[in-house]
A and B are shown apart, each in its own frame.
Chain A
Amino acid sequence: MTAPVLRATGLAQRFGPRTVYHDVTFEVAGGEVFVILGGSGCGKTTLLRQCIGLLAPSAGSVELLGDDIYAAAAPARDAVLRRIGVMFQSGALFGSMTLLENVMLPLEVYTDLPPRARGHIARLKLGLVGLADAVSLLPAEISGGMVKRAAIARALALDPPLLFLDEPSAGLDPVTSAGIDRLILDLRRDLGLTFVVVTHELASILAIADRCLMLDRDAQGVIATGDPRRLRDDSEDAKVRAFFRREAP
């Protein structure tokens, strides 16, 4: 078993009197595709934001690549966060920059690469996600699927070993969505990346996930973990079965 690249221990999140979840504990091993799933409002994106350092948990800790990001001092935490890549749900590409410039930005800020080298590497990253011929387009000029791919390319800019993807398939047609799933699996196979993916797209979960963690709003926490195919076939929890079989409660 590879050493965990992400370890969350006893995470809780409260907004005022409302508890979103409590006692969420899990580990993600290197090279794994780990999916956080659950119905709307269960706290998937909140959990992701805690894992990437954007939201300090009400309780618990998050270790990324061996470092506790909320216990570490700001410079040390920033250094750890530079070793992860994040794709936000909307893509969050900078609208005033071309795709190439979007991918080049982290390279400009954090490396000593000469300008031509940055362009060369950024083109390679866009090529990795199948956007080699769209380097000079603006985000507003490309489709939703291309936005997601470009956002993955930007997340890959500094070659992080761990990528977080928030709803990579949301709003995409099934074919484009399957293409994103294929891209995730290809990048994992070819580059040995680890993925933590937040999604509730059933087809994507079954296609890409090695393991998953299911949150539930009513239970205010985790109701299932494991291989999603096993959960679909064998789970005795009614909510888990309903989710995987697309049954109304």
Chain B
Amino acid sequence: MAQAATLASAVRGEARVLSLRGQLDVAAAGVLWTAALREAAAQPARPLIIDLAGLESCDTAGAALLLAMEQARPGATFDGAHPHVAAVLERARAALVEPPPPPLVKPVSWRVLIVQGLERAGDGFAYLGEALVAVLRLPTRLRQFRLADLLRSADQAGVRAVPLVLLLGLLMGLILAFQSLMPMRRFGADLYVANLVADSLLRELGPLLASVVLAGRSGSAFAAEIGTMKVNQEIDALATMGIDPMTMLVLPRMVAALLVMPALTVLLEAAGLVGMSVVLVGSGIPLVAIAHQVVDWVQPMDFYGGLAKAMVFGAVVAGIGCRAGLNAGHGPRAVGQAATSAVVGGIVATIVLDGVAAVLFFRLGL
């Protein structure tokens, strides 16, 4: 078996000689690399000869080391290489070109950021417009709107999300009631915890949390599914068949999310109320008193307003997920980026819209 390459240094007349012996393969190159370059760069006043007479074989990694030694010490000469070693060395020399300069990175300025932001906002509005046009043209493209897709999306976004929504609602009700009970008890207002938690759940937390669940579960799934279709050129195939991707892929998902969100919200709120009741009953408040407080305090508009918000959130989250998929780039990384973008965009849009709705409801006295 051939010996792994070794390196020895000697002086021959005026010149320094670095002798390599044995088999210079990728493993030996790894061991010798640092020392060989250091030796090659040492004593720059003396001419350097790299003696290859003892080198039995050399692969391209070994040749890369020899060429790196030559680069480290301009003017160094190779001596005594066997023909097969010289051939590999020459092939490697021909292949090794200077790496291209790194691409120029333009400095980020406020102007660039503002322009990019405006462009993104413009893209968002264009997408909204496309969705609106698709809705208006739907009567003429009914065959492109696949009911099976709608039902599948409703199953994925709605039915399969029920356990998670129930768990989240129950825990949220428990936590809210428990955290509110402590300070309220100091003022003898234990019973009003029911009013506080019910109002929070029905007006704000119910639709908000259901929307976050939708963004995390289904928005990302929509983005990944459509993003993969984009990567596999299936979107291009639809376009060449004259089928509008907005009508066939986006609208069914938006409608499905819009339809399932009220149901998810109601379930989350009901589970939250159950959780709240568990805490309050455990602290000695009768169930009938809790029910009376809730029914007495909560207005129909609190409930219906929350459901209306949930429907809007659902359509927006699904739309953002689908848009992230349609805008996916190329390759597997693009699908992951699309899914991330769908979740982040969905949650941010939900919170912004919730703020807008809060101001709107206040102004309208609802």
List residues of A whose CB falls within 8 A of some B CB.
Answer: 95-96, 107, 111-114, 117, 120-121, 123-125, 127-128, 132-133, 135-136, 138-141, 156, 158-159, 190-192
Interchain CB contact under 8 A, A123 and B99: yes
Whether B95 pairs with A136 at a CB distance below 8 angstroms is no
Contact call B30/A132, Cβ cutoff below 8 A? no
Which residue of chain B has the shortest Cβ distance to A131 in the bound complex?
Answer: B95
Q: Which residues of B contact A96 (CB under 8 A)?
A: 331-333
B63 surroundings in chain A (CB, below 8 A): 124
Q: A117-B68, A127-B97, A135-B100 are in contact. Are A158 and B91 (CB under 8 A)?
A: no
Q: A113-B33, A123-B96, A132-B97 are in contact. Are A95 and B332 (CB under 8 A)?
A: yes
- Whether B65 is near chain A, meaning CB under 8 Å from some CB there, is yes
Cβ–Cβ contact B60 & A132, under 8 A: no
- Tell me the smallest distance from the CB of A37 to a CB of chain B, in Å: 29
Which residue of chain A has the shortest Cβ distance to B231 in the bound complex?
A: A140
A190 and B64 contacting across the interface, CB-CB below 8 Å: no
Of A95, A132, A158, A191, the contact of B88 (CB 8 Å cutoff): A191
6 pairs, CB–CB < 8 Å, chain A vs chain B: A96-B332, A111-B30, A112-B31, A133-B100, A135-B100, A191-B59
- Which residues does chain B contribute within 8 Å of A133, judged by CB atoms? 97, 100
**Cβ distance B26 to chain A, nearest Cβ, rounded Å:** 5
- Cα–Cα distance between A222 and B87 once the two chains are bound (Å): 38
| Chain A contacts for B334, CB-based, 8 A | 140
Most buried by B among A96, A112, A159: A159
With a CB–CB cut-off of 8 A, which chain B residues contact A95?
Answer: 331-333
Chain A residues within an 8 Å CB radius of B308: none
Which residues 7-46 of B sit at the A interface, judged by CB distance below 8 A?
Answer: 25-27, 29-31, 33-34
Residues of B within 8 A of A141 (CB): 330
B61 sits at the interface (CB 8 A): yes
Q: Can you list, as one digit per residue, whether each of B44-71 has a CB less than 8 Å from chain A (1) or not (0)? A: 0000000000000001110111011000
Tell me if A107 and B26 are in contact (CB < 8 A). Answer: yes
The answer on a CB contact under 8 Å between B30 and A112 is yes
Interface centre among B31, B59, B84, B94 (most CB of A within 10 A): B59
Q: How long is the Cα–Cα vector from A141 to B67 in the complex, in angstroms?
A: 30
Q: Answer yes or no: B305 CB below 8 A from chain A CBs.
A: no
Q: Is the CB of B333 within 8 A of A117?
A: no
Query: A128–B60 contact, CB under 8 A?
Result: yes
Q: How many residues of chain B are within 8 Å of chain A by beta carbon?
A: 35
Among B26, B91, B99, the most chain A Cβ lie within 10 Å of the Cβ of B26
How far is it, in angstroms, between the C-alpha of A238 and the C-alpha of B91 when the chains are bound? 43
B97 touches A190 (CB 8 A): no
CB-based contact B34/A124 at 8 Å: no
Residue on A nearest B332 in the bound complex, by CB: A95
Query: A117 touching B33 by the CB < 8 A rule?
Result: yes
What DSSP secondary structure best describes chain A's contact surface? Answer: helix
B329 at the A interface (CB under 8 A):
yes
Over the window 130-145 of chain B, the binary record of Cβ atoms lying under 8 Å from chain A Cβ atoms (1 yes, 0 no) is 0000000000000000
- Are A138 and B331 in touch, CB under 8 angstroms? yes
Q: A112-B31, A136-B100, A159-B25 are in contact. Are A128 and B64 (CB under 8 A)?
A: no
Contact B30 A113 (CB under 8 A): yes
Contact B330 A140 (CB under 8 A): yes
A125 to B97, CA, bound (A): 11
> How many angstroms between the C-alpha atoms of A74 and B329 in the bound complex?
39
For A129, the closest partner residue in chain B by CB is B95
Contacts of A138 in B (CB 8 A): 330-331
* Complex CA–CA separation, A120 to B65 (angstroms): 9
Q: Is B255 an interface residue (CB 8 A)?
A: no
A97, closest chain B residue (CB): B333
Q: Are B329 and A140 in contact, with the CB atoms below 8 A? A: yes
Residues on A with C-beta less than 8 A from B91 are: 128, 190-191
A137 CB to nearest chain B CB (Å)? 10
Indicate if B353 sits at the interface (CB-CB under 8 A): no
Which A residues touch B88, using CB under 8 A? 190-191
Question: Closest CB-CB distance, A101 to chain B, in whole Å?
Answer: 12
How many Å from the CB of B335 to the closest CB on chain A? 10
Contact status A124-B331, CB under 8 Å: no
User: Does B59 contact A159, Cβ atoms closer than 8 Å?
Assistant: yes
B residues less than 8 Å from A128 (CB atoms)? 60, 91-92, 95
| A192 in contact with B84 (CB, 8 Å) | yes
Instruction: For B34, list chain A residues within 8 Å (CB).
Output: 114
Whether A117 lies near B64 (C-beta < 8 A) is yes
Select from chain A the residue with minimum beta-carbon distance to B336. A96
Residues of chain B within 8 A of A135, CB atoms compared: 99-100
Chain B residues near A114 (CB-CB < 8 A): 33-34
Q: Is the CB of B65 within 8 A of A156?
A: no
Of all chain B residues, the one with the shortest Cβ separation from A122 is B64
Bound: A159/B189 CA distance, A: 78
Q: Is the CB of B61 within 8 A of A121?
A: yes
Docked complex Cα distance between A158 and B102 (Å) = 26
Residue in B29, B84, B96, B329 whose CB lies within 8 Å of A117:
B29
B228 CB, min distance to chain A CBs, angstroms? 12
* Residues of the B chain whose Cβ atoms lie less than 8 Å from the Cβ of A112: 27, 30-31
